[in-house]
């Protein structure tokens, strides 16, 4: 498979890294020689300096033989034109573009991105997806990760085990006995930055980050079992009124949940614009690192502060200042990979990584087999995949205890006929089941084959 990635920034380089790991023949295009040099030095990909929407540049990148173009430059218009040129001149089958401007994405213009107009197969809007991801975390207090699966019949939830967690030091196989009616399966544990694929005799310890799959209707019960009984936030302070901050404020205001929303924005013109667009929110113009402005925003009474400016350092420092001033919880946007491991010891509760959200969206379009969705977990821990069990799969028709699963793979749950079933050793998959599973990165290829052909073929 040959793919062209337009844009060598953080998102583009991350996508190229993932595609290269999939043994895809990747060419990256960017105008900046420094970014192209960096990606050439660090990844096994071809790299080309040029303007991504120019036909001669795309031809030099191999567009005539490419099966996919992924346009994620900083300019929406370049991304859209690159996809148009790839379609019209080179007949590239799959075209994916990042579009950030909210105006393009309004429902009124839904016909814009169609084959007869702008032939883009997949539109990625990181700001909208990040705002939705934060909203899901706000709806499940105490969770640092919430991902809907199987049409939101299931959810993957990430929680941090505290010393007072009722489940610590309990073998996982006993959870079924302790909570016989709770449809939950532990699929991953992170301990001291070390990933663990759990077995029945493993235990959760204080400080562990735990990922579990649960019936969506039982998320509240599952959180209570982990000792998280925090109420949903009614006062939220958003730092940064860019596309993410504005989108989140509008979402919260439209939910009619009675949430009091305040925003802090350093750019006066932007603050005025957002204040007009979000009349139900209070917008303050100023520096979020100013203690007096934080006090004016009532940070001491806020349940959750959400820092989503375009500056990682501001987000981290503002979150810490807010918590020190009395905010109960901090949700912090962090783009730079190196900052992730530093945030937890500092006391930040939830880290949101736009790169992981964007790359997850793209991966589901390159996974082979009947893979319906892909979600990267933090720091390359692994992937949560949603797949359809085929008649030809060696998983179908045998109890899971007898199935030859690749190492590092756990089947968490399945949906059959609209009903949720948590996977147990005696569970027997049937053709057509929607299966949710966790796989370490090294086993993802084996999972693809598992949902394509019989297991004995590989």
| pLDDT tens for each residue of 133-176 | 999 999 999 999 999 999 899 999 999 998 889 899 989 988 88
Show which of 124, 155, 182 is a domain's final residue.
124
Range of the domain at 268: 235-357
Q: Are residues 8 and 118 in the same domain?
A: yes
List of residues 6+ apart from 279 with CB closer than 8 A: none
Give the angle 46-51-52 at the CA atoms, nearest 5°.
Answer: 65
Q: Are residues 34 and 54 in the same domain?
A: yes
Q: Are residues 97 and 39 in the same domain?
A: yes
Q: Cα dist. 89→56, 59, 316 in Å?
A: 10, 9, 45
In the beta sheet, which residues pair with residue 435? 387, 414
Q: Where residue 429 sits, what CATH number does that domain have?
A: 3.30.70.1450
Q: Are residues 378 and 350 in the same domain?
A: no
Q: Which of 41, 61, 46, 60 is nearest to 16 (CA)?
A: 46
Q: Where residue 297 sits, what CATH number does that domain have?
A: 3.40.50.720
Show which of 312, 340, 357 is a domain's final residue.
357
List of residues 6+ apart from 342 with CB closer than 8 A: none
Q: Is residue 306 a part of any domain in this protein?
A: yes
Q: H helices of 65-190, where? A: 76-90, 126-139, 175-178
Q: Is residue 308 a part of any domain in this protein?
A: yes
With contact defined as beta carbons under 8 Å apart, do 18 and 43 qualify?
no
Return d(Cα 371, Cα 437) in angstroms, integer.
11
Q: Is residue 335 a part of any domain in this protein?
A: yes
Return d(Cα 108, Cα 14) in angstroms, integer.
32
Q: Which whole number is the average pLDDT over 377-383?
A: 77
For helices 354-363 and 10-21, give the axis angle rounded to 10 degrees.
40
pLDDT of amino acid 455: 42
Q: Is residue 135 a part of any domain in this protein?
A: no
In the beta sheet, which residues pair with residue 370? none
Number of domain units in the chain: 3
Please state whether the predicted TM-score (pTM) of the whole model is above 0.75: yes
With contact defined as beta carbons under 8 Å apart, do 403 and 394 qualify?
yes
Q: H helices of 325-370, where? A: 340-346, 354-363
Q: Are residues 261 and 374 in the same domain?
A: no
Q: Are residues 320 and 351 in the same domain?
A: yes
Q: Is residue 225 a part of any domain in this protein?
A: no
Per-residue pLDDT for 344 more than 60? Answer: yes
Q: Are residues 244 and 337 in the same domain?
A: yes
Strands 154-160 vs 143-149: parallel, antiparallel or unpaired: antiparallel
Q: Are residues 329 and 423 in the same domain?
A: no
Using the Cα atoms of residue 387, residue 393, residue 399 and residue 405 in order, give the sign of their dihedral.
Answer: negative
Per-residue pLDDT for 44 more than 60? Answer: yes
Q: Is residue 417 a part of any domain in this protein?
A: yes
pLDDT of amino acid 14: 85
With contact defined as beta carbons under 8 Å apart, do 8 and 28 qualify?
yes
Q: Are residues 451 and 380 in the same domain?
A: yes
With contact defined as beta carbons under 8 Å apart, do 361 and 367 qualify?
no
Mean of per-residue pLDDT scores for the chain: 90
With contact defined as beta carbons under 8 Å apart, do 297 and 262 qualify?
yes
Q: Is residue 304 a part of any domain in this protein?
A: yes
Q: Are residues 309 and 372 in the same domain?
A: no
Tens of pLDDT, residues 382-440: 889 999 888 878 888 999 999 888 899 999 999 998 899 999 889 999 999 999 999 98
457 band by pLDDT with thresholds 50, 70 and 90: very low
Q: Are residues 245 and 348 in the same domain?
A: yes
Return d(Cα 74, Cα 260) in angstroms, integer.
33
And the tokens for 449?
């084959």
Per-residue pLDDT for 112 more than 90? Answer: no
Show which of 64, 94, 124 is a domain's final residue.
124
Q: Are residues 353 and 367 in the same domain?
A: no
pLDDT of amino acid 454: 47
Sheet holding 154-160, edge to edge: 143-149, 154-160, 209-215, 184-191, 194-196
Q: H helices of 91-218, where? A: 126-139, 175-178
Q: Is residue 58 a part of any domain in this protein?
A: yes
């Amino acid at each position: 498979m040959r793919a062209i990635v337009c844009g060598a920034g953080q998102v583009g380089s991350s996508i190229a890294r993932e595609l290269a790991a999939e043994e895809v023949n990747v060419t990256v295009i960017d105008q900046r020689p420094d970014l192209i040099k960096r990606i050439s030095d660090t990844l096994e990909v071809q790299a080309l300096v040029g303007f991504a929407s120019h036909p001669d540049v795309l031809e030099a990148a191999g567009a005539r033989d490419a099966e996919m173009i992924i346009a994620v430059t900083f300019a929406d218009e370049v991304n859209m034109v690159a996809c148009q040129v790839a379609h019209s001149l080179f007949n590239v089958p799959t075209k994916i573009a990042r579009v950030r401007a909210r105006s393009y994405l309004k429902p009124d213009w839904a016909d814009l991105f169609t084959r007869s107009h702008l032939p883009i197969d997949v539109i990625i809007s990181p700001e909208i997806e990040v705002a939705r991801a934060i909203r899901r975390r706000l709806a499940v207090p105490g969770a640092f990760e919430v991902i809907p699966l199987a049409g939101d019949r299931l959810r993957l939830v990430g929680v941090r085990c505290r010393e007072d967690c009722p489940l610590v030091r309990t073998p996982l196989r006993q959870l079924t006995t302790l909570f016989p009616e709770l449809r939950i399966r532990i699929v991953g544990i992170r301990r001291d930055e070390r990933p663990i694929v759990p077995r029945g005799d493993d235990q959760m310890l204080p400080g562990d980050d735990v990922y579990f799959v649960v019936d969506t209707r039982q998320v509240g019960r599952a959180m209570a079992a982990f000792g998280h009984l925090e109420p949903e936030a009614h006062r939220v302070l958003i730092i940064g009124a860019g596309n993410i901050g504005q989108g989140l404020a509008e979402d919260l205001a439209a939910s009619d949940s009675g949430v009091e929303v305040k925003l802090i924005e350093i750019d006066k013109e932007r603050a005025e614009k957002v204040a007009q667009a979000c009349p139900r929110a209070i917008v303050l113009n100023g520096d979020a690192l100013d203690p007096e402005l934080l006090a004016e925003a009532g940070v001491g009474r806020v349940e959750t502060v959400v820092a989503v400016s375009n500056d990682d350092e501001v987000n981290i420092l503002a979150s810490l200042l807010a918590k020190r001033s009395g905010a109960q919880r901090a949700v912090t946007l962090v783009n730079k990979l190196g900052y992730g491991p530093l945030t937890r010891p500092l006391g930040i509760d939830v880290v949101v990584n736009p790169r992981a959200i964007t790359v997850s969206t793209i991966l589901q379009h390159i996974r082979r087999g009947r893979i319906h969705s892909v979600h990267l977990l933090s720091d390359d821990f692994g992937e949560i995949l949603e797949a359809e069990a085929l008649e030809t799969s060696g998983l179908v028709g045998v109890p899971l205890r007898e199935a030859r699963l690749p190492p590092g793979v756990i089947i968490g749950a399945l949906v059959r006929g609209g009903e949720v079933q948590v996977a147990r050793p005696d569970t027997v998959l049937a053709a057509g089941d929607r299966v949710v599973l966790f796989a370490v990165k090294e086993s993802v290829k084996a999972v693809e084959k598992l949902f394509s052909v019989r297991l004995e073929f590989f």
